[in-house]
Each structure stands twice: as C-alpha cells, then as structure tokens.
Amino acid sequence: MERGILVIPLCHSGLKPHDLPIPLSLLQALELNQAENLKFLYETISKKMDMQKVLNANFESMALEIIEIENKYKQEKQTFTNF
C-alpha cells in the first residue's frame, strides 16, 4: 500500500499470484475462483467503504460461476490459437 491506496491484484483463468510481475507479485494477490478469496475481497472493500450492512452472499456459488466463465474463456482462447 502506497499513498494510502490499497491494491489487491486479482488472478483468473489459470494465472497464479506468483506468476504476476513484480511489484504485483509482492502484494496479496487473490485467485477469484476460490470462495474464501471472494469473501476476503468483499470484506476488504466493505471495510474501506465503511459499509455498515454486511452482504450475506453465497461465495461458493460465485466461485463456481467464475470457474465456469474461466473454462469458457480457455476454450475460446484455444479455438483462436488453433487458427
């Protein structure tokens, strides 16, 4: 965190936090296809925005949706690389 700005790199579609370039790899990066990371992200944003009401969300379901999107993305990417 520099100048009071919180930066949380978000990884998806197979990208892992340790694969990020420096300085992003030095930060607490999150993989979006994991429910606990989605919950942590939501809680962190909520705290920064001084939100009083806590969302009762199904982070497991959200993570599964993200995995589905990632799989579609990977299939489409593979299709384009085969041309």
What are 27-64's pLDDT values in tens digits? 999 999 999 999 999 999 998 888 877 678 999 999 99
What are 5-33's pLDDT values in tens digits? 889 999 998 899 999 999 998 999 999 99
| Domain parsing of the chain, residue ranges | 10-81
Spacing of C-alpha 83 from chain mean position:
30
| CB-count burial class (<10 Å; 0-12, 13-18, 19+) for 31 | middle
